[in-house]
Structure 1
Amino acid sequence: MLRAALLAGCAVVPSLAHAQALSVQDAAALRSELEALKAQMQALQARLDKAESGAASAAASAQSATTTAQKAVELANKAGSAPTIKFKGAPEISDGKGWSFKPRGRLLFDAAVVDAPRGIVDRGLGFSNEVRRARLGVEGTIPGGFGYKFEADIATGDAELTDAFLDYKRGGLTVTVGQHNTFQGLEELSSSNDTSFIERAAFTDAFGFERRLGVSAQYQAGPVLAQAGLFTDNAADLSNDENNGVGGDLRLVYAPMLGHSQLHFGVSGHWRDLGDAVTNVRYRQRPLVHTTDTRFIDTNSLGGATKETGYGAEAAVIAGRFHAAGEAFWQTVRRTGAADPTFFGGSVEAGWFLTDDTRSYKGGMFKSMKVKHPLGSGGIGAVQVNARYDRLDLSDGAVIGGVQDGYMASLIWTPVDHIRFMLNYAHMDYTNATVVNAINGDRSYGVDTLAARAQLSF
């Protein structure tokens, strides 16, 4: 535009010169002005040439930057598609597109002493020890919202299937198919890695709580959790083709926050048709340790059994270092040609961390805690003390299986995440204990146990 304007100006000046006669002085002045104008035009032309050269250079630089950015994006995409590894007790491999794989396992070594009155002769008393659990497995996710878990226990020398299932998650919904837990209650659903005592409450073992093959669904919306499932039997028992037992389980949980405290309230219902392969049931229990096979309370075989019905209630609170939990469960056996006895089990406990730690909770169960000040990183780990009252009543009507009242204390040291050491003491008062363990006909007496555990989990 500047160039066009200057050219137009130059065209006007000669026209004016021809329009009238000029004096010598005016002609000299006009020539001087034209020279000055020519110099300005040359200067402007130089500036225009420089601007055009700069624009071309800028355009070239922009193109180069665009190419570099495109290459960076391509490299980032390639890097994003490469597997990543995170360490969560064991390496977890993920491709960022939905696939993941993680080995998992646990080792629990127990030792215990059972001290019973001298009149009881049983070689299973005194000192005993065992590998309580030795599990190894894998878990992970699959694109589309699917997940899997497979784990077996080899503590007894033979592989025993524990979890083996495929699940699907979408929002708050989880659908599970395979062998898994049957929504029995708070402590049974919480991992054995995270319980307050070496063994769970006595009723959970006495009433035969176990994983079973089936299909289940659960849905969580805020503090409300609903769980339901249909199950057959434990995978190990399904080798008998006559086993056609089937059951259903339902559990409802309300777990709100009250300030900084986590509350938990739950109820559950359980029904099981024993089918053709089972006609007798038996309920009994060890003295709150698993290292001995001695049972001081035992219903013996209950014939004519056709169905089992159970009802449970549970409550818990976690408030900083403090926690408390309690459960109650009623188990009824339906029988043909005999009365239908109802047995009871329950426990209540409270615990306190001596260190600045707290129990973890998620999805209607206790979860693995995170040590705030691990050993070796300026702290001593987490130290917790717990107390519990545990009751199991296996007597009703004509069935006299006995009553076990347990008074328990535990000390737990978790030096770092995934490692735990436990020390348990329990005193049990027995009423109507088994006849085989009677003392000169007296079936009421006390038994003490002291147990310890070393634990690794990942």
Structure 2
Amino acid sequence: MSASSKILLAVLAAFLVPPGGLRAEDAPRGPAIEAKGIPGPYGERLTIDDKGITLTFPNDSMALRIGGRLHLDFGVAGIRQSGFGDPFSDTIAVRRSWIEATLSLGKDVGLGFQYDFADPVTPINDAVLVYRGVPDMLFSIGNEKEPFGLDQLASNNNVLFTERALSDAFVPARNFGFAVGRHGKDWSVVTGVFGGNANTGIGTEGIASTSRVTYAPINDDHRTLHVGLAGSYRDLPRDESPLSLSSRSEAFLYTRRFVDTGDIRDAASIARLGAELAYRSGPLLVSAEYTRTEIGRFDGAKPLKFQGGYVQASWVLNGDNRAYRMAPDFNGTSYAVFGGVKVAEAQRITRGGFGVFELGLRFSAIDLDDGGIRGGIERDGTVGLSWYPDTNIRIMADYVRSHTSPSALQNGRTIDADTFIGRFQLYW
């Protein structure tokens, strides 16, 4: 597909999308650039603010929002052992370059679409139709995230570090399917059936059933205690499409993956079980996840079992902590997640302030060694600092210390690496 065709597709797709389905609602917000908007001849109104460009029609009969995000990464890395070469092929790269849009039809129906110009393989992210006409329920169909993983279901605008933890390698992420969710004041349940990804073939990766339940026994404006459990089972076709699991050491710029199962050609199924725990108190947020994955195999071969997890903490040094969101507006599966850091009007540098600062710490691990598979075992420690100078702007700096022993490279050699990753993030 040519570049011009991709642009045309993205523009046309902007008319197919949900408020909230693209997670722009989690972004820090400020006052509208055009508070009252520009009126049109038929009662419509055009506004430009920190949520993007929004066209609304009388009586809220229809609203179209067009936004986007740009994540620009830069960094350096060093491997302490000799003979591995340069870890990065480039020291700067566009991580994401999205155009996204939401179209709401009244209060109950919405469509959402995201297109990433920086990803030539899977450029379509959300492409989903949602219906929320039943109280406390939401139905969705399309390419969307399977309901699995506290950190995965959060917007990539709002995750604590530039990349999610090592154990995110086990999370199914986005695929095409149908989901239904229901929530109360302190609980949520969502389940769905999914095929393959819309970019690579809906019917090529078997069928999965994925569900997630959460409960928040403590949940007010200042404190939240969250527990969650997710499960997924996917039946894989017996064809020439192998299964593989790997992680890029929590830095997008790495050219090689230190842990990688390689192709598992006799994989018959993949089952996942994930546990979540999070506690928020004032400016402090601590969260942890553990994921166990079992791969069934054809012809009676012994199943493969892998595992991973993380513990992380964030401290907002001079602002409010991340809000807990029990139910999404127009996103089918992102129940019970934490949003982004918000910048108060007086803290914006354009208003004479200094922005908001957030400190993060994380320990993560992954084990891809079992049976005849020698995918490696890695443990990472990360410290990061984020600066939010204004609404819709974030500047990040992460240091990652990783230890992989054995690795998936050079017959299992030990790898110790030091990585610095920075990111300039713009989203609206």
What band does the TM-score fall into relative to the shorter chain? 0.7 to 0.9
Measure the CA separation in 2 of the matches of 1:274 and 1:79.
52
Measure the CA separation in 2 of the matches of 1:347 and 1:412.
20
Alignment of 1:454 with 2:418, yes or no, is no
Q: In the alignment, what sits opposite 1:143?
A: 106
Which of 60, 84, 94 is 2:56 aligned to? Answer: 94
Q: In the alignment, what sits opposite 2:97?
A: 134
Q: In the alignment, what sits opposite 2:294?
A: 332
CA contact (8 A) 2:191 2:211 kept: yes
Alignment of 1:249 with 2:210, yes or no, is yes
> Which amino acid is the alignment partner of residue 134 of structure 1?
S
CA contact (8 A) 1:113 1:126 kept: no
Percent identical: 26
Alignment of 1:181 with 2:153, yes or no, is no
Q: In the alignment, what sits opposite 1:383?
A: 357
Which of 62, 80, 84 is 1:117 aligned to? Answer: 80
Matches for 1:31-50 after TM superposition, within 5 Å: none
Q: In the alignment, what sits opposite 1:444?
A: 414
Task: Describe the superposition over 1:295-330 as per-residue Cα deviations: whole angstroms up to 9, x where unpaired.
Answer: 111222223111000000011122111111111101
Q: In the alignment, what sits opposite 1:310?
A: 272
Q: 5+ residue gaps in structure 1? A: 1-77
Which of 329, 337, 340 is 1:368 aligned to? Answer: 340
Alignment of 1:285 with 2:247, yes or no, is yes
Secondary structure in 2 matching 1:188:
helix
Secondary structure in 2 matching 1:334:
strand
Matches for 1:41-440 after TM superposition, within 5 Å: 82-86=43-47, 87-95=49-57, 96-125=59-88, 128-143=91-106, 145-156=108-119, 160-170=123-133, 171-204=135-168, 206-207=169-170, 209-238=172-201, 243=204, 245-258=206-219, 260-277=222-239, 280-337=242-299, 338-363=301-326, 364-372=336-344, 373-436=347-410
CA contact (8 A) 1:244 1:277 kept: no
1:159 Cα deviation (Å)?
7.2
> Which amino acid is the alignment partner of residue 455 of structure 1?
Q
Measure the CA separation in 1 of the matches of 2:205 and 2:123.
21
Secondary structure in 2 matching 1:194:
coil
Question: CA 1:158–1:334 in 2, change beyond 3 Å: closer, same or farther?
Answer: closer
Measure the CA separation in 2 of the matches of 1:122 and 1:274.
37
CA contact (8 A) 1:131 1:155 kept: yes
1:160 Cα deviation (Å)?
1.1
> Which amino acid is the alignment partner of residue 415 of structure 1?
P
1:83 Cα deviation (Å)?
2.1
Question: RCO higher in 1 or 2 (8 Å CA, sep ≥ 6)?
Answer: 2
CA contact (8 A) 1:296 1:437 kept: no
Secondary structure in 1 matching 2:138:
strand
Secondary structure in 2 matching 1:203:
helix
Q: In the alignment, what sits opposite 1:75?
A: none
Secondary structure in 1 matching 2:390:
coil
CA contact (8 A) 2:44 2:55 kept: yes
1:422 Cα deviation (Å)?
0.2
Task: Describe the superposition over 1:322-365 as per-residue Cα deviations: whole angstroms up to 9, x where unpaired.
Answer: 11111110111000242211111100011111112211221311
Task: Describe the superposition over 1:415-442 as per-residue Cα deviations: whole angstroms up to 9, x where unpaired.
Answer: 111100000001011111124275xxxx
> Which amino acid is the alignment partner of residue 231 of structure 2?
G
Secondary structure in 2 matching 1:357:
coil
Measure the CA separation in 1 of the matches of 2:165 and 2:231.
18
CA contact (8 A) 1:191 1:366 kept: no
Q: In the alignment, what sits opposite 1:43?
A: none
Measure the CA separation in 2 of the matches of 1:161 and 1:279.
21
1:202 Cα deviation (Å)?
1.2
List structure 1 runs of 4+ shifted beyond 4 angstroms.
78-81
Secondary structure in 2 matching 1:376:
helix
Measure the CA separation in 1 of the matches of 2:293 and 2:164.
17
Q: In the alignment, what sits opposite 1:26?
A: none
> Which amino acid is the alignment partner of residue 391 of structure 1?
A
> Which amino acid is the alignment partner of residue 400 of structure 2?
A
> Which amino acid is the alignment partner of residue 237 of structure 2?
G
TM norm structure 1: 0.77
Measure the CA separation in 2 of the matches of 1:415 and 1:190.
21
* Corresponding pairs, count: 374
